[in-house]
Amino acid sequence: MTVGTAAVKIALSAWHVSDFAHGVTYGLNYALSFLLLQRLGLVPATKQPAMTAASLAVIVRERRGDDRANEIAEYAARICRSQLAAVLGNVIVVSVGAFAFVHLWPC
């Protein structure tokens, strides 16, 4: 999906229109891409669920003392690990998709 969105953006950049028109078409391209992701039940891997902030707020509100500091540190470490895994997954999958696109797209 990401590779397709980028390919459409590249195609749109070849149009000889005003900067405003480019901005509108780029925005529509990304909006449609995200709507399609949502419709298919997909989520970009680097987007943490809304529960992340809510869970952190519960830890801060309900824990006290060293217990709170330790739990916040553990929670932050889990978030960092999951974000790193998501970013690496995105980079690898998009790189493979871009490589395939470049080599399979007829010029």
Helix residue ranges, H only, the chain:
2-13, 19-39, 51-62, 65-104
* pLDDT given for residue 37 in this prediction: 86
pLDDT digits (tens, 9 = 90+) for 36-58: 988 988 776 666 666 677 888 88
Residues 58-67: b if buried by 16+ CB within 10 A, e if exposed:
ebeeeeeeee
CA dist 36 and 24 (Å) reads 18
For the chain, which residues make up each domain, given as ranges? 1-42, 45-107
Longest CA pairwise span in the chain (Å): 63
Length of the chain: 107
89 contact partners, CB below 8 Å, separation of at least 6: 45
Helix axes 19-39, 2-13, angle to 10 degrees: 160
pTM reported for the whole predicted model:
0.58
pLDDT digits (tens, 9 = 90+) for 51-83: 677 888 888 888 888 888 888 889 889 888 888
